[in-house]
Structure 1
Amino acid sequence: MSRTESAGTAAAVTASADLFQDELHASVCDPVLDTMNFLNEVTHRYPHAISFAPGRPYDGFFDTEQIFVHMRRYLDHLVETGCSSGEIRDALFQYGPTSGRIRDLIADSLLKDEGIDVPPESIVVTVGCQEAMFLTLRALIPGPDDVLLVSSPCYVGITGAAGLLDIGLTAVAERPDGFSCDDLETALLVERDRGRRPRAFYVVPDHSNPSGTTMPLRTRHELLDLAARHDFLILEDSPYRLVSPGRQLPTLKSLDRERRVVHLGSYSKTLFPGARLGFAVADQIVADRRGGSGLLADELAKIKSMVTVNTSPLSQAVVAGMLLASDGRPSQLNTETSAHYEQAMHATLRRLDACFPDDVRAGLGVRWNTPSGGFFLAVDVPFTADNAALTRSAEEFGVIWTPMSYFYPQGGGERTLRLSVSYLTQADIAEGIDRLAGFITDQAAGSH
């Protein structure tokens, strides 16, 4: 197309437009939204490629009939606790309380499985953890002089939510060996010198998305001490604990003695992703200027009433049935799944070792970490791992991955890719890593 034809096409589009993008909210132009859409587009364009991109649970464990079994179990529970037929009908058909119907069961489960001892009224049941993030950010960060800090690289959901809410964000870069409280403290002081108030710090302490790192116990205590000294809250998002092998380190919330942690939870990885059920544990006391007080959870519920009104009672019923089936210990329902993910991670690491022996690895400059659980690991490569490289990898080598740069809100990760091992069989993993090795070797040689 000539320049004249291109200009004519642009003029025609402009003339027929009902809206202009630059007149919409700035978040619609956020590169994060474009990159994730691009990744989905590549996945659909090359359906026969083996994809290490989706961070979703393996669906080989799902049984459709179990949905009805779990719902019936919850209904039986309501009968056993003395609910009338009208109350049971309302529990399924009506909107229900904004904060959620099953907070008591969630509180019981958190105590048994995670050592988090909080009253049910400090919990808000949300439409996935994403809504819990959105509500918490909206409540905690009221103005342009307040700032959210995030451990970087970080989950794109938190940066996307911050963008939608026009919230200022400062990235605290992880070191090669993980997160450092010294770096966070430096960032806090810099923000204060700029006249801004560091309000909260978001982190995934266990088997994080995207890097797979886990925060040591000593660092967890240091972070809680830092939050108390500098008066900020910690937003703890840790969905991969109960689908990871072995004994897990204590959650930040279970170690929290000064109500410094808002715990953001999800049942998508552990129980039932299609239920879209999450929650926020917000037991912080909120006082008004007239001497009254309540919980932060109450404030989140107010916001939720204007966003989603309530969380699906059907989703709550199914998840409640699953919690009842395990006597409040969903970890027991995940014994087989956590073993599957452990085997998938080990299979991936073994195949990487086989495809890149020490001498080859050193010669190419390829490195990867060895997460102790979760879905993800990071691979450093000797070339720019961008959308163009991803397209070539999918088209010519039949393997898809995620550019790690997607997860750096303020730049970084240009020569690293993320692999998700959760959704693939071991046969697919072996074949996929073979294809990936072929791509990395070819791309590193500069043949394209």
Structure 2
Amino acid sequence: MVELSRADLHVSVSDPAATSMNFLNEVAIRFPNAISLAAGRPYDGFYSTEDVQRYLEAYLNHLRADGLSEVQVRGLLFQYGRTNGQLHTLIAKMLEIDEGIVVPPESVMVTAGCQEAMVIALRALCTSPQDVVLAVEPCYVGLNGAARILGVEVVPVPESPAGLAPETVAEVVRAVRAAGKRPRALYLVPNFSNPSGFSLPVATRRRLLDIVGEQDLLLLEDDPYGLFGLDDEPRPTLKSLDTDGRVIYLGSFSKSCFPGARVGFLVADQTVVGENGRRTLLADEMSAVKSMLTLNTSAISQAVIGGVLIESGCGLRAANRDKIAFYRSNLRTLLAALEEHFPQSGRGEGAVRWNVPGGGFFAVVDLPLRADETLLELSAEQYGVLWTPMKFFYVDGGDHSVRLSCSYLMPEQIAEGVQRLSWLVAENE
């Protein structure tokens, strides 16, 4: 049998981000009884198998009510379809209702999860080895992984303890250009980011838009957690504040609906001017990338998500009230458990400290010991609790911090998991 050298395979095969996620999955499989404060997936108690058929019927009835014949409905459901998807009109309406984002439906591309949207955006924007993408660090591993597959360099823009400073973006852009490279876009999660949990204040959002305008930079705004704040304070998306067309908006139905559908989207309403003067939307140009990647997003998955949108009147913020309340309660439970089991927090060198996010699924805890794969193995085997090393989200850093997720568990499991973490810390300092 043929044997291949691993050294001859693409660097993405051995990418630290990908292997780290595989490591987490492998540890979870080996220790199935451990409480996982690592998994950032939604709580599946909100779903039932009967929902799929109901949503599907709702969407098909919507198509029939729009005057489509049974032949046309059957074609939309079972055939290859429009490369950029068939939910663009419904998604555009949802964005206007929930986020105040007003864009033409033609600027919306439906993707196979938000991960595909990242790949498409990076591929379309970065055309040469000198093109780089900036990313707020700590950064979601999926962005780094997508860039590695494409051979696109990611330059970190570090967060301060108070979050992202727009002036830091300008400093990094100038340094990148001085090195002979071309910064194309900045990736960030402005609402309750994964992993840090930070949310940009409105004034910072406006200043960031000014900075990227001055620096001739695009923004890749990823917003999977925007619905799930601890309060109802308005947090306008960068896209809704954008008056210059700087923001490409990346969205997902994994948290607001369910991840098994694997439906995401991007909004690229920027104008592209060809050599002949022809003007098109960036979303239309990006369709060429998608057509060679997945052809189109599953029509059946789109139909199910379409049914969710139809049933909710395209208002997912209102339709997610129960989920919002659940995730709020879980985050408060996590923060209360940290207060209870680490009462020395913030006092003295070596104390355990954590941030207090305004929403989302995650909190970051700084520990007085090295939080690496070895410690995670020990934590799983002897203490029965899993967490995510923050080092997975940095190019270089995060060695003494962990990300705790509270989305998938019941409150009593969260409290027990934090207690077990406290035992790990106390006995291994």
TM-score, normalised by the number of residues in structure 2:
0.98
Q: Match for 1:380 among 351, 363, 366?
A: 366
Deviates more, 1:363-372 or 1:201-210: 363-372
Equivalent residue for 1:223?
208
Deviates more, 1:19-28 or 1:280-289: 19-28
Aligned 1:136-175 pairs, distance under 5 A: 136-175=121-160
* 1:188-247 deviations in Å (ceiling 9; x for gaps): 000111111111000000000001010111111111111111111000001001133423
Q: Following the alignment from structure 2 to structure 1, what is the Cα–Cα distance between the partners of residues 410 and 153?
A: 41
Aligned residue for 1:430, secondary structure, equals helix
Q: Does 2:248 match 1:262? A: yes
Aligned amino acid, residue 121 of structure 2:
T
Aligned amino acid, residue 179 of structure 2:
R
Q: Does 2:78 match 1:122? A: no
Query: What RMSD, in angstroms, separates the aligned Cα atoms of the two structures?
Result: 1.1
Aligned amino acid, residue 374 of structure 2:
A
The offset of 1:360, in angstroms, is 8.5
* 1:264-287 deviations in Å (ceiling 9; x for gaps): 000000012110000010001011
Gaps of 5+ in 2: none
Equivalent residue for 1:347?
333
Deviates more, 1:27-36 or 1:56-65: 27-36
| Identity among equivalent pairs (%) | 48
Q: Following the alignment from structure 2 to structure 1, what is the Cα–Cα distance between the partners of residues 250 and 14?
A: 27
Runs of 4+ in 1 over 6 A off after TM superposition: none
Q: Does 2:351 match 1:390? A: no
Equivalent residue for 1:177?
162
Q: Following the alignment from structure 1 to structure 2, what is the Cα–Cα distance between the partners of residues 95 and 83?
A: 17
CA contact (8 A) 1:238 1:264 kept: yes
Aligned length: 428
Aligned residue for 1:241, secondary structure, equals coil
Gaps of 5+ in 1: 1-15
Equivalent residue for 2:415?
430
Aligned 1:32-431 pairs, distance under 5 A: 32-245=17-230, 246-358=232-344, 362=348, 364-408=350-394, 410-431=395-416
Q: Following the alignment from structure 2 to structure 1, what is the Cα–Cα distance between the partners of residues 345 and 247?
A: 45
Equivalent residue for 1:9?
none
* 1:284-307 deviations in Å (ceiling 9; x for gaps): 101111111101101111110001
Q: Greater CA radius of gyration, 1 or 2?
A: 1
Aligned residue for 1:198, secondary structure, equals strand
CA contact (8 A) 2:345 2:351 kept: no
* 1:170-200 deviations in Å (ceiling 9; x for gaps): 1011000100111111100001111111110
Aligned residue for 2:154, secondary structure, equals strand
* 1:409-430 deviations in Å (ceiling 9; x for gaps): x201000000000001011011
Equivalent residue for 2:428?
443
Equivalent residue for 1:7?
none
CA contact (8 A) 2:388 2:404 kept: yes
Aligned residue for 2:365, secondary structure, equals strand
